[in-house]
Amino acid sequence: MERNGSSRSLKRNILAVVTAVSWANLVAIAVAFNSAEYASALDKSLLFYDVQRSGKLPPWQRIKWRADSALDDGKAEKMNLTGGYYDAGDNVKFGLPMAFSITLLAWNVVEFGDNLQYTGQLQNLLNNIRWGTDYLLRCYSDSEELWVQVGEPNADHQCWERPEDMDTPRTAYKIDSDNPGSDVAAETAAAFAAASMAFRRADVAYSNTLILSARRIFNFADNYRGKYSDSLAGAVCPFYCSYSGYKDELVWGAAWLYKATRLDLYLQYLITNANSLGGATVTVNAFNWDNKYAGAQLLVAQEILTGTQGLQQGYKDRADGYICQVLPSSISPASTTTYTPGGLLYQTDGSNMQAVTTAAFLLTNYARSLATAKKTIQCGGSQITPAQLTTVAQNQVDYILGNNPKKMSYMVGFGSKYPTQPHHRASSLPSTSALSQKIGCGQGFTYYSSKNPNPNLAMGAIVGGPDKNDNFNDVRSNYAALEPTTYINAPIVGILAVLATNRTSTTTTTASAQLPIALQRF
């Protein structure tokens, strides 16, 4: 959808002079798309999880070209490991990025629950979260055992098959006390804790189950420290190695457990380990499936802004540092992030949109907290207002949706021009309803090499995106630009809900109130 540059400049100029404004005003300023368009994008962003769903599909499945798949996952290990999500365009279930996706989806409910309710999308999002947490609960089969992957990625990547046709090995991998994985275990604890808050009003019993599991698995993560990619290097690397280590996930998990329980145990954990785990000392400029420091630091910074006592100022300083580094240099003298000529945040040549959507989410989230506290932040001597954070975040969302030099939406199915050849097996092969015969491992590459558009729409998928010069080559083999992932989509949900409703979030799902007394006994 074409939008002229003059309106963009006017929007920036208006927002630049705003120094103190309520969150309602922050989201009420001129937008590149109307509320109905943002609402459509929100709906599509959630439909992508239907595309990625593994297992026996539920009756509420909305994407109908997908069918049941991977129904024997875990059978060889005498476990039921069906369900969950495929991470991207392949057919492996990787536990670390899946748990991160679920944490972020739940965080959207925690922060923007009323916006989601107002759009009518809250139940769809809760369905998507629960599909993930049900699977993760099955994976947590013992207090010191967590199944973290199903599928052989090297074998899988040698094939181009529909999930419904998979005949590559579905080996399941686990961590335990002898083979630790603090990173994936603490991330799973974060997912359970965040989801417990998301379900607190919708399903109290389920919420309680999740928080108890979160507490137990966090203990496991903390007591048996180690990187899961050291324990399972041959299975998870180079696909989802834990490059950042596990300390960031321990901070992240503890921050979520404190937010969800308000128990002094987790507050003291954050205070005692502020330096040793890096939460109050490490500044990063990226937030992704591997490195959780920025998200954890922002969670703690929000606590500091609301007056929680005892937490080191270093957490907030590091959160501010992330924000200062991802803002454009025209706003923040401390910026370390490149922006394309068309205005897209650019940090990596592969799946860059993950950096974009996570940054937009954290900017939006932090702007809300700062506005409520009537605070600004300092970046290299410049005062940065909540309004400036909001406009940068919104500009990134608008770029994704089509307000860019190519006039192309990078969300499949949104607008009149979007990628037609996502690097995605299920989307690029005929559905089982269109072609009932099995498509074999090698046979599928005929479709991979085709210049035709994918026969099935991977609705709502946000692809990896354009290069640093805003160029985009819509060719299926260009996986860095064309492969969508669950964790690219997850952060954008809440922002779209805010833009669709054009109203402040006063969600009650954040549940600052204590859990029932019985749950505080462990």
Whole-number Å distance between alpha carbons of 138 and 421: 34
Pairing mode of beta strands 382-384, 172-176: unpaired
- Which residues, in sequence order, are CB contacts of 353 under 8 Å at separation 6+? 400, 410, 462, 463, 464, 465, 488
**Which of 90, 114, 423, 470 does the annotation list as catalytic?**
423
Active site residue 423: yes
Tokens found for residue 314: 């270093």
Nearest to 495 by CA among 367, 377, 346, 381: 367
Tokens 């085709």 belong to residue: 450
Cβ–Cβ < 8 Å for 414, 41: yes
Whole-number Å distance between alpha carbons of 401 and 461: 11
Q: Buried b / exposed e across 137-167, counting CB within 10 Å, b at 16+? A: bbbbbeebbbbbbbbbbeebeebbbbbbbbe
Active site residue 142: no
Tokens 């957490």 belong to residue: 315
Whole-number Å distance between alpha carbons of 278 and 103: 21
Tokens found for residue 120: 């009518």
Nearest to 46 by CA among 1, 101, 9: 101
Nearest to 469 by CA among 338, 335, 369: 338
Active site residue 424: no
* DSSP characters over 333-368: TT---EE-TTS-EE--SSSTHHHHHHHHHHHHHHHH
Active site residues: 423, 474, 483
